[in-house]
Amino acid sequence: MKVSTSQFFKQAVDIIGQQHSDVAKQQARLGSGKQLVKPSDDASKAALIQRLKSGLTAQESYGAGLVRLTDRLSLEESAITSTENILLNIKDLALRAASQSMGPESRKIMAVEIGFLRDELMALANTRDFNGNYIFAGSMVSDAPYSQDTDGSIIYQGDDTVIEIMVSDQRKLELNSPGESVFRSLIRNGNDGLYSGDLTPGNEATLLTFPDSHKDFALRLAEFKAHLGKANAQARVEIEVETSGIDFSDTNQININGIDITGAPYTTTNDLITAINAQKDVTGAEAELSSTGTIIIKNIVGKEGNIITISDSDDVGVNPLALTNGSYSASQEDLAAQAQAQLNYDNYYSDLRSSGYSDEIDWDTFQGISNQAYDLSYSNDYLPGAPEAKRIGFFDVIGDLIESLELSDTNRIDRGIDEMDSLIQSTALQIADIGSRMNIADAQINIMDETVIRFKNLISSAEDLDYSTAVTELSSEMLALEAAQSSFARISQLSLFDYIR
């Protein structure tokens, strides 16, 4: 093999150049403190480092959101705790005002004091955060959520939007509490759940002669019976039949709940209805012509909720009604409501019968009132559940209490005290909810801190340079470079003529 001088010099220059490059790389790594000076040094490791840094950025973003969340919840907790304390003060004033020893003028003074406390509550409801946003306004953070109307009532002008923030890859937490979830309204039941539908003149006159306790018993029993009437009406099975599909020439008879309806072929719609109703006591189903001209087959009174099975007497799968042979039933939800309503009525009736009042009660009148309540509710002429019940806003409750104190109306003051208990309870539950969210946020922050440390350790392991190892490698590379240079200097001076001499 021949080695020319030019080839020898080229190989030597390449080796020395490579050594220079290796030394330069080591020096660059030492200068930057990183294992990789540029991604091309190790593409797979560079990709790993980038993924780790992206994960770290996401965790730090979640951490910033958690800090924001805890600051916001702390502000809400402070405002709602102050609200609870003011409500307790209002209740204390109302309890004092309810005392028989308190005169009208003293109650008016307390009404003024409660008015000032209501203004403080409104200020708390319009609390702002550090950025000037209203914290109880839902998403409408630029405008005060509560304002006073022209008639003096305080109205809510925010919305019910709940803002959620991501606190991990898989978890969200609520950032805010809309005003109506904090300063909650309540249901005021005007007649305490007693029956309040129409009564016949006879029942009304008899009821007026009852002692108050007996009157309450009668109306409560009637209300349970009204609920039963409504439940039975809803559980009633009704099958609608289009008259255009009826085959009046078919001698095949209809079979309802295993009973053949005789008379086929049925000449007219009325003949068919008459034939079905002739067997209703046996089948438990009756028929009627609706206002739209269709035939309605339904449970008879007292059989509501029972299954109605339609077939044909010849069992050929086709019946004169053009209905699919099979069973028709109420929904499970309606049947469950029916069973519960029956149980509620039976339990209350049984309790009355076994009470010490049983011998004093005019049971005929009680049953008359109950049956009337049932019939009205069954026909949808009465809606059970205290029709006077209505929703009262948080600040309206306090406003009504102020008015009752100004009028020295002790009955309304007592009602106001009960309603203040409801508001206090609602506020306490909201504080507990915020406390729960704060605990979750604190736990998530601890998890986040540990996760961030793990990410930083992984990044450091993949990216940061081990200086002691790098210095050793640099020394080795420089020694190799010097050796290559020295060797080349010596060998390049050699000549064949030196051996000829």
Confidence of residue 30 (pLDDT cuts 50, 70, 90): low
pLDDT digits (tens, 9 = 90+) for 217-257: 898 899 899 989 999 999 999 999 888 878 777 677 888 99
Return the bridge partners of 34, or none. Answer: 464
Question: What CATH number is given to the structural domain containing 117?
Answer: 1.20.1330.10
47: in domain = no
Same domain for 342 and 322: no
Question: What CATH number is given to the structural domain containing 290?
Answer: 3.30.70.2120
50: in domain = no
Query: What predicted TM-score, i.e. pTM, was given to this entire model?
Result: 0.49
Confidence of residue 284 (pLDDT cuts 50, 70, 90): very high
Same domain for 226 and 259: no
pLDDT of residue 20: 54
Report the candidate in 86, 84, 109, 83 with the shortest Cα–Cα distance to residue 96.
Answer: 109
Same domain for 110 and 17: no
45: in domain = no
Query: CA-based angle 240:242:248, to the nearest 5?
Result: 120
Chain centroid to Cα 294, Å, comes to 42
| 322 Cβ contact list (under 8 Å, min separation 6) | 241, 242, 245, 246, 247
Both tokens assigned to 159: 């919305």
Q: Average pLDDT in the 304-317 region?
A: 83
Cα dist. 204→200, 215, 366 in Å?
6, 11, 11
Rounded CA separation 214/266 (Å): 54
Same domain for 358 and 265: no
Q: How many domains does the chain have?
A: 4
48: in domain = no
With a pLDDT cut of 70, the percent of the chain lying above it is: 78
Same domain for 91 and 17: no
Evaluate whether 240 touches 296 at the Cβ level (below 8 Å). yes
302: in domain = yes
More confident residue, 119 or 392: 119
pLDDT of residue 403: 86
Same domain for 220 and 367: yes
Q: Which domain holds residue 96?
A: 58-189+393-450
69: in domain = yes
pLDDT of residue 23: 56
DSSP readout, 166-216? ESSSS-EEE----HHHHS--EEE-TTTT---S---HHHHHHHHTS-HHHHH
Q: Average pLDDT in the 4-33 region?
A: 58
Same domain for 344 and 223: yes
Q: Average pLDDT in the 453-472 region?
A: 63
417: in domain = yes
Same domain for 399 and 383: no
More confident residue, 44 or 114: 114
Among candidate residues 308, 329, 350, the one where a domain is terminated: 329
Among candidate residues 365, 388, 411, the one where a domain is terminated: 388
Same domain for 135 and 254: no
Residue 48, classed as helix, strand or coil, is helix
Among candidate residues 310, 329, 348, the one where a domain is terminated: 329
Same domain for 63 and 185: yes
DSSP readout, 221-287? HHHHHHHHHHHHHHH--EEEE-GGG--TT--SPEEETTEEE--PSP-SHHHHHHHHHHTHHHHSEEE
Same domain for 403 and 370: no
Whether 285 has a pLDDT exceeding 70, the answer reads: yes
Q: Average pLDDT in the 346-357 region?
A: 87
pLDDT digits (tens, 9 = 90+) for 105-146: 888 999 999 999 999 999 999 999 888 899 998 888 899 999
State the amino acid at position 250 in one-letter form.
D
pLDDT of residue 138: 87
State the amino acid at position 58 in one-letter form.
A
pLDDT of residue 346: 93
Whether 278 has a pLDDT exceeding 70, the answer reads: yes
Residue 151, classed as helix, strand or coil, is coil
Rounded CA separation 413/400 (Å): 9
Same domain for 226 and 346: yes
458: in domain = no
Query: CA-based angle 453:459:463, to the nearest 5?
Result: 150
